[in-house]
Amino acid sequence: MRLWRVEETERLVKSELARELAETWARCGDEQCLADTPFEPELVGVGRWWLGPFTIGNRKMGEIPFFSLPPVFTCPGHTPFCLKWCYAIYEIVNWRAHVREAAAYLLSLRDDFPDVAVRYLSRLPHPVVRLHVSGDFYDRRYLEKWAEVARRLPHKTFYTYTKSLRLIRGADIPKNLIIHLSADPFNYAEVAEVWRELRRGFITFVYTPGRDEELQALQHLLENTEATILLFLNHVQHAPRARVDVAQLRRRLRERLGPAASRVVFDPEEFAGGPQCLQCRLCWIYRPATF
Ligand code: SF4
């Protein structure tokens, strides 16, 4: 099955518009230069909510700058679960965001990408940066570029979730680049293996209401790692709409998984409506004993 969103990405990364936007970002580095370009502010990224390729915050995170890439196209570890449920495919439906993601991908291919990223990030006062609200580490060189950016900005913390499991094995990742492993019913065995090698970060898992058979993956992750499992809630528009009773789900997990269920953490924003990441901070502050 061909996804419209992927076809659109393939078109956009070849477009003159994305190419020119990436070149503009590489040439600029501050608000004035961006404002002097012919692009509209929301596209080039100038104003309260952007700085060049960085978007500053969203509803879930609060005011945290992020850098995103096109979904699937930049996700070598994507699984059938992603194609069916990924929010970045189905919920980011803003054409400017699509163009910006395509341009960000072109920018990230450049050898000077770490210099460009450091230039923009140095102008942002925010101490925490999220990578890939959409997209993932698409090759080792790209991962190394972010590792370099993190080393050059040691006072900032970068965090992300990945399915690019093969790429992060054996990679030299600085402590301020926090990478959580994203498991689903198709990749959980490999995630457990990789987590045992790295012993860093959470394992994340998306809970889909009414699909409790998927919890066997959770069981495998708990039995085969000592990781903390961060449970997200499947909230794409076509996901089952059943209301999730968190206390009841917790009880069911305890009955099924035993004491290990205490290592499952429910994402507070998705299961309880808040706080936002900016206040929660679990994904970059919390360190389980195994860190
Ligand atoms: S656990 Fe907290 S910081 Fe992590 S994604 Fe959820 S709300 Fe954000």
What type of residue sits at position 198?
Answer: L
User: How far is 249 from 14, CA to CA, in rounded Å?
Assistant: 46
104: phi then psi, degrees, rounded to nearest 5: -65, -35
Residue positions counted in the chain: 291
**Residue 2 in this model has a pLDDT that exceeds 70:** yes
Q: What is the pLDDT of residue 290?
A: 39
Output the CA 257–ligand 1 centroid distance in Å.
23
Whether the CB of 22 sits within 6 Å of ligand 1: no
Output the CA 283–ligand 1 centroid distance in Å.
6
Continuous segment of H or E residues that includes residue 36: none
**DSSP label at 258?**
G
Full-model pTM: 0.95
Whether the CB of 283 sits within 6 Å of ligand 1: yes
Closest atom of ligand 1 relative to the 268 alpha carbon: 7
> Which pLDDT band holds residue 244 (cuts at 50, 70, 90)?
confident
Mean residue pLDDT of the chain comes to: 93
| Tens digit of each residue's pLDDT (9 = 90 or more) over 30-87 | 999 999 999 999 999 999 999 999 999 999 999 999 999 999 999 999 999 999 988 8
Whether the CB of 33 sits within 6 Å of ligand 1: no
pLDDT (average), residues 107-119: 98
User: How far is 75 from 139, CA to CA, in rounded Å?
Assistant: 9
Of 277, 281, 285, the one to substitute when testing ligand 1's pocket (max ligand atoms within 8 A of C-beta) is 277
- Taking each continuous run of H as one helix and of E as one strand, the counts in the chain are 16, 9
Whether the CB of 277 sits within 6 Å of ligand 1: yes
Q: Whose CA is nearest to atom 7 of ligand 1?
A: 277
Output the CA 117–ligand 1 centroid distance in Å.
24
| Tens digit of each residue's pLDDT (9 = 90 or more) over 64-77 | 999 999 999 999 99
Q: Is 222 helix (H, G, I), strand (E, B) or coil?
A: helix
Of 66, 231, 283, the one to substitute when testing ligand 1's pocket (max ligand atoms within 8 A of C-beta) is 283
Output the CA 2–ligand 1 centroid distance in Å.
32
Q: Whose CA is nearest to atom 6 of ligand 1?
A: 267
Dump strand ranges (E) for 20-107. Answer: 50-51, 54-58, 62-67
Question: Which domains, ranges and CATH numbers included, belong to the chain?
Answer: 4-285 (3.20.20)
pLDDT (average), residues 244-266: 91
Strands 54-58 and 50-51: antiparallel
